[in-house]
């Protein structure tokens, strides 16, 4: 059961999500490699998961009764790493090692390298299948943990995703919730230009999934919709979370060119000079932080 969210807790989560975005920018700037748009857009969802929704214990990352978080779209791992560090899985200072040689924070998550990582990801389209295996294991072992599988909308172009969707629906895996980052971009353009996806709602309903939609950048709304998904007991659920790629950094928002670029590495139309990109991003996020504080004062 998802606990009630009070106003004070909401403020704390919004501030933590903003802090997470700042840490993503700093980590990407230090590594000079990695993806910006997705991690920034998903910061609210990861904050809600790690600090309000998930049943987990950073001191016991292999606790058998923990909820499982499967990150299928592994390229957005900067926000996964940031959220885990904020939660206490490893020191915040280690975020500076992102994508560096011998770092535990690899460019795509690797199970076994960093405690708290449930699956290895990178090749898109595999996560739902992995999550089904974990959910089935829980059913066989009579466990009550829940499995959350985060996917990109671009992954919905993968055949493996739909084979898995068909299986989960036929098995009635109510312990599985898929969260689709519906930000409408991928590396070569918008999803609807590359390979149109709509209507995802009708497609998943046809595969016997409970389908819910939400503003993925609204923490309260997201927590509420997860509660709705958890109340479904006869089928898997999918939450289509509409997010703004690059959320919080004006020159990145809704621009697919920031899908795979870190700040400071590319000259992109509408962005500051490379030498100023990180500073401008952090200045904007710090201003947002102050605004959140004043709104809840």
pLDDT of residue 297: 64
Q: Which two tokens stand for residue 128?
A: 């739902």
Spatial neighbors of 58 by CB under 8 A, at least 6 apart, are 84, 87, 88, 89, 116
Distance CA 239, CA 242 (A): 9
Q: Which residues of the chain have pLDDT under 70?
A: 296-297
185-186/176-182 β-pairing? unpaired
Reported pTM: 0.97
State the DSSP H helix or E strand holding residue 238, giving kind and residue range, or none if neither: strand 237-242
Q: Which two tokens stand for residue 212?
A: 């819910």
Q: b vs e for 176-214, b when ≥16 Cβ sit within 10 Å of the residue's Cβ?
A: bbbbbbbbbbbeeeebeeeeebeebeebbeebbbbbbeb
Q: Which two tokens stand for residue 51?
A: 């600090």
- In the chain, where the domains are located: 7-295
- Answer whether 220's CB lies under 8 Å from 52's CB: no
Indicate the SS3 state at residue 254.
Answer: coil
pLDDT of residue 122: 87
Residue among 115, 108, 109, 113 nearest 90 (CA): 115
Distance CA 211, CA 266 (A): 38
- Domain 7-295 is found in CATH 3.40.50.970: yes
Beta-bridged to residue 210, according to DSSP, are 237
pLDDT of residue 189: 95
How far is C-alpha 1 from the chain's CA centre?
Answer: 21
From the number of C-beta atoms within 10 Å of its C-beta (0-12, 13-18, 19+), residue 252 rates as: buried
Residue among 155, 144, 164, 152 nearest 236 (CA): 164
């Amino acid at each position: 059961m998802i606990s009630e969210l009070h106003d004070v807790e909401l403020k704390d989560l919004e501030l933590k999500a903003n802090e997470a975005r700042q840490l993503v920018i700093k980590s990407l700037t230090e590594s000079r490699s990695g993806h910006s748009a997705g991690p920034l857009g998903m910061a609210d969802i990861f904050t809600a998961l790690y600090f309000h929704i998930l049943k987990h214990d950073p001191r016991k990352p292999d606790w058998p009764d923990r909820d499982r978080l499967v990150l299928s779209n592994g390229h957005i791992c900067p926000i996964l790493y940031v959220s885990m560090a904020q939660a206490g899985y490893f020191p915040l200072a280690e975020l500076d090692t992102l994508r560096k040689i011998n770092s535990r924070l690899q460019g795509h998550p690797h199970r076994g390298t960093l405690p708290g990582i449930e699956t290895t990801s990178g090749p898109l389209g595999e996560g739902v299948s992995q999550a089904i295996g974990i959910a089935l294991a829980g059913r066989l072992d009579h466990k009550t943990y829940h499995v959350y599988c985060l996917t990109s909308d671009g992954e919905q172009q993968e055949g493996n995703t739909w084979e898995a969707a068909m299986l989960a629906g036929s098995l009635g895996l109510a312990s599985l919730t898929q969260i689709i980052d519906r930000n409408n971009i991928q590396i070569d353009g918008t999803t609807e230009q590359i390979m149109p996806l709509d209507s995802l709602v009708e497609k998943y309903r046809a595969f016997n999934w409970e389908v819910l939609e939400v503003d993925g950048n609204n923490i309260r709304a997201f927590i509420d919709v997860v509660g709705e998904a958890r109340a479904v007991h006869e089928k898997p659920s999918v939450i289509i979370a509409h997010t703004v790629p690059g959320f919080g950094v004006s020159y990145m928002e809704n621009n697919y060119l920031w899908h795979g670029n870190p700040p400071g590495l590319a000259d992109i139309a509408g962005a500051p000079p490379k030498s100023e990109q990180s500073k401008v991003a952090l200045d904007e996020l710090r201003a947002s932080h102050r605004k959140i504080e004043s709104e809840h004062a």
